[in-house]
Amino acid sequence: QVQLVESGGGLVQAGGSLNVSCTVSGTIFSINAMAWYRQTPGKQRELVASITSTGTANDADSVKGRFAISRNDGKKTVHLQMNSLKPEDTALYYCNAGVVVSIWDYDRNYWGQGTQVTVNP
């Protein structure tokens, strides 16, 4: 069983910073791409940032220059440092990872349960 558990969400004033983290646990052979998504009520889940297994990161235009994704493969974690937060960044943030559980398996997509980030004006 593979589990993704997010932490670090919370309430912050506009202009502030937060760091959300995600830990992958369970039977793991390798972790490929990792990413953060976010979703607000009534809207589709959107990609915020992603990072490949070799460390290449990509950010959505809406967060470029403000958010930074990073990963620690030894600890099986992925982080999202969020700076200069805006009220429109308020959302439920989900961790996503492509995980291979054994040498005979293929990359499967896993999701965390989400952590709430609320930015007050």
For position 72, what pLDDT does the model report? 97
CA atoms within 13 A on the CB side of 104: 0
Residue 10, pLDDT score = 96
Specify whether the CB–CB gap between 9 and 20 falls below 8 A.
Answer: yes
Tokens of 117: 């980030």
Burial annotation 58-68 (CB, 10 A radius, 16+ → b, else e): ebeeebeeebb
Fill in the amino acid letter for 96: N
Q: What pLDDT, on the 0 to 100 scale, is given for residue 120?
A: 97
Identify the segments of the chain with pLDDT beneath 50: none
pLDDT of residue 35: 98
pLDDT, position 2: 96
pLDDT at position 19 is: 97
Q: Are 110 and 79 in contact (CB under 8 A)?
A: no
Query: Given the DSSP bridges, would you call strands 115-120 and 10-13 parallel, antiparallel or unpaired?
Result: parallel
Q: d(Cα 90, Cα 81) in Å, to the nearest integer?
A: 14
